Chain A
Amino acid sequence: MADFAPAAPLDRFILRGSPPFAVAVPTHPLHSLSLGGASALWLGPDEWLLLAPEGEGAALAAQVARTETPHALFDVSHRQLGFVLSGEDAATLLNGAVPLDLSPEAFPVGMCTRTLFEKAEIVLWRTAASAWHIDVARSFAEYFQELLAVIAQADGIALA
């Protein structure tokens, strides 16, 4: 049993540079950090994905702009679509196409990474013990949803 739904609309930014910035970002690999309503996800040693509820991105960008060291901030809000997958079988479903160990020991709550969902590049983020946020490029969103349905059918998991 797993629930699958589009995530609430988000404003997204890619932040590149060397910390510290005017907003806090996680410096430990594959970790995420909550910034009030927004979140910062570690994607690489000099790359972060900032997620904010729709409409709050401008304030976040203004805060990042107060950084005095060289950095780059890209608005990628409409490049990706977010999905939320939850339920006890969510990890099993994801493992139908994600070649990572998604057990709680190997992929604890709060861990995030860019990886592959079969052929689609995704950002995978464990937001709770059995809840996942997945960001996928718009052009791959249909592929992602259809493949997830195929995996659910093959594994006999009800996908609501």
Chain B
Amino acid sequence: MLLIHCPYCGMARPEIEFRHAGHAHIARPADPAAATDEEWAAYLYWRDNPKGLIAERWRHVHGCGRFFNAVRHTVTDKLLATYPAGAPRPEIDLP
């Protein structure tokens, strides 16, 4: 079982307490009426599928209930960093 560090509880907790909630850092266009179809489609549908690091939203649903962000490696499935929602994505150097 993976242990995931919850930035709000301040401790590592078992994976089954968490839910994955999609891609992180996707900003809604400030003025949807002025957004082009392409911009709106990008906001709604277009997602990266990298082989490597990806920033994701996670929710500690069976714990403190809060959403936070995590950087995960899609090959090793290791969560390399977790940080509160609203914080910038941390820089992580892979060996």
Binding site for B on A (CB under 8 A): 29-30, 43-45, 47, 99-100, 113-116, 121
Contacts of B16 in A (CB 8 A): 99, 116
Interface of B is mostly: loop
Indicate if B51 sits at the interface (CB-CB under 8 A).
no
Task: Tell me if B62 and A115 are in contact (CB < 8 A).
Answer: yes
Task: Tell me if A44 and B64 are in contact (CB < 8 A).
Answer: yes
In Å, the complex CA distance between A116 and B1 comes to: 14
Contacts of A114 in B (CB 8 A): 62-65
Contacts of B50 in A (CB 8 A): none
Task: Tell me if A116 and B17 are in contact (CB < 8 A).
Answer: yes
Given contacts A29-B64, A114-B64, A116-B62, whether A100 and B14 have CB atoms under 8 Å apart is yes
The interface bits of chain B over 1-28 (1 if a CB of A lies within 8 angstroms of the residue's CB, else 0) are 1000000111101101100000000000
Contacts of B66 in A (CB 8 A): 44-45
19 interchain pairs, CB-CB under 8 A: A29-B8, A29-B10, A30-B10, A30-B11, A43-B65, A44-B65, A45-B66, A47-B64, A47-B65, A99-B14, A99-B16, A100-B14, A113-B9, A114-B64, A114-B65, A115-B17, A115-B62, A115-B63, A116-B17
Task: Tell me if A45 and B64 are in contact (CB < 8 A).
Answer: yes
Contacts of A116 in B (CB 8 A): 16-17, 62
Contacts of B9 in A (CB 8 A): 29-30, 113
In Å, the complex CA distance between A30 and B13 comes to: 12
In Å, the complex CA distance between A79 and B39 comes to: 45
Given A29-B10, A99-B14, 9 new contacts (CB under 8 A): A29-B11, A30-B9, A45-B8, A100-B13, A114-B64, A114-B65, A115-B13, A115-B17, A116-B62
Contact residue among A29, A30, A45, A121 (Cβ-Cβ distance under 8 Å from B62): A121
**B64 to A, closest residue via Cβ:** A44
Contacts of A47 in B (CB 8 A): 64-65
